Structure formats: C-alpha cells, structure tokens
Structure 1
Amino acid sequence: MIVKQLEDIVGSESDIDTDTWRSFRILLKKDGMGFSMHHTVIKAGTETYIWYKNHVEAVYCIQGSGEIEVLDNNKIYPIKNGTLYALNGHEKHKLRAKSDMHMVCVFNPPLTGREIHQEDGSYPLLEG
C-alpha cells in the first residue's frame, strides 16, 4: 500500500513550480501503479499551450474556473469544479485559468516527476 500526504510533497523534488502552473507529483512511475497522479494548480490569469504527444491525460477540476481550447477545431470548453476532460487523442490545446484551478491529473505512461513542458508543449518520455 502507498500512503502519501500533500504536505510531504510541498517543497520536495516532486513539487514543480513554473510561471503558469505548479504541480505536486503525488504518484510517479517509480511507484509502479502504471499511471502517475498529480495535484496541479493552474495559476489565475495564465494561458498554457500543451500537446501531450507522448501521453494521455485525464484531468478533474476540484476548485477554480477557466477553459480549455482544442486547437484542431477551436472549440472551447468551460472548466469549473466538477469538470473532467480527457486528452485521449493527444489534442493540442490551450489551458486558460480565470482563477487558480486545482486539478487532479492522471497520466499514462506515468511521469517520473522531473518533466516540464518542452517547446512543442509536450512532456518527454523519461526513464526513471
């Protein structure tokens, strides 16, 4: 069994802070679950271009509001508490936060915990 507390992740190497988001990497590849799980805060007033060409991701909003724009068709979906979206087709998208959005994110293949977005918006596949 794995038991972790968010307070133990804050300030650790699994706490990744960027200009537009902060991700607390809770479950990682090394935990052997076949997926990774993160508590990510998308910072209010920001826009982030993302393209997970190497991963699929499911995201569940637990606090805040914003929107996701799918760039292939320019369709915009509102995000608020209780919204789930799943990027099962490697969609290029922009994520915009009206307020801080707290998101529970699940990735497959699992992340190692060191990933940040590359210039093309993707995460690299890292061994770990």
Structure 2
Amino acid sequence: MIIRHLNEIRSSEHNIRSDGWVSARMLLKDDGMGFSFHITTMFAGTELKMHYQNHLESVFVLKGTGTIENLETGEIHKLEPGVLYVLNEHDRHIVRPATDILTACVFNPPVTGREVHDETGAYPADPDMLRAPVPTD
C-alpha cells in the first residue's frame, strides 16, 4: 500500500513548477502502478499549448474555470468543477485558465517525475517504452 500526503509532495522534489503551472506528482513510474497521478494547478491568465505525443492524459477539474481548445477541430469547451477531459488521441490543445484551475490528472504511460513540456508541448518519451522487446526462447 502506498500512502502519500499532498502537503508533503508540495514541499518535495516531486512538486514541479513550470511556465503557467505547478504539478504535485503524487504517483510516478517507479511506484509500479502503470500510470502516474498528479494534482496540478494551471494559473489564471496563461495560455498553455500542449500536445502529449507520448502520453495519454485524463484531467478532472476540481476548482476554477477556463476553456480548452482542440487545435485539430477548433472546438472550445468550458472548464469548470466536475468536468473531465481526456486526451485519448494525443490531442493538440490549448488550456486558457480564467482563474487558477486545480485538477487531478492521470498519465499513461506514467511519468518519471521531473518532466516539463518541450518546445512541441509534449513530455519526452520514456526510453524504457522505446526499447524493442527481448526475444525469448
């Protein structure tokens, strides 16, 4: 059983801050669960362009308001408490928080904990996921 407390994560190396957001990485790849779990705040007035090419993500809005734009379709959806958005097709998107937005996020495959977005808006691919399987006899 794994027990973690958000306040302890927020004061540790697993609390990652980048331009426009801060993410408490509660559960990571090394925990062996097959996914990672984060409590992330996206800051009001920012525009966060992201494209998770190497991960699938689901995001549940706990507090705050804003919008998410699907860059493939141009559709804009309202974000508010109780909304879940799922980037099930590696969707290119922009989140525009009107207020600080507090979310609970799940990533598959799990992140290692130190990732921040690269110039394309993605987290890097996990090198373990890129290795060819070893043949068995």
- TM-score w.r.t. the length of structure 1 is 0.97
Q: Residues 54 and 124 of structure 1 are in contact (CA less than 8 Å); yes or no, is this contact kept in structure 2? A: yes
One-letter amino acid matched to 2:54: N
Who is 2:36 aligned against? 36
After superposition, the CA RMSD in angstroms is 1.0
Aligned pair 1:4/2:11, yes or no?
no
1:56 alignment partner in structure 2: 56
Deviation at 1:19, TM superposition (A): 2.2
1:111 alignment counterpart: 111
Secondary structure in structure 2 of the residue aligned to 1:72: coil
How many correspondences in the alignment? Answer: 128
Determine helix, strand or coil for the equivalent of 2:12: coil
Distance 1:41 1:64 in 2: 9
- Separation in 1 of the partners of 2:120 and 2:80? 27
Q: Which runs of 4+ in 1 moved over 3 A?
A: none
Give ranges in structure 1 of 5+ residues lacking alignment.
none
Identity %: 48
TM-score norm. by structure 2 comes to 0.91
Structure of higher CA gyration radius = 2
Aligned to 2:76: 76
Q: Which runs of 5+ in 2 are unaligned?
A: 129-137
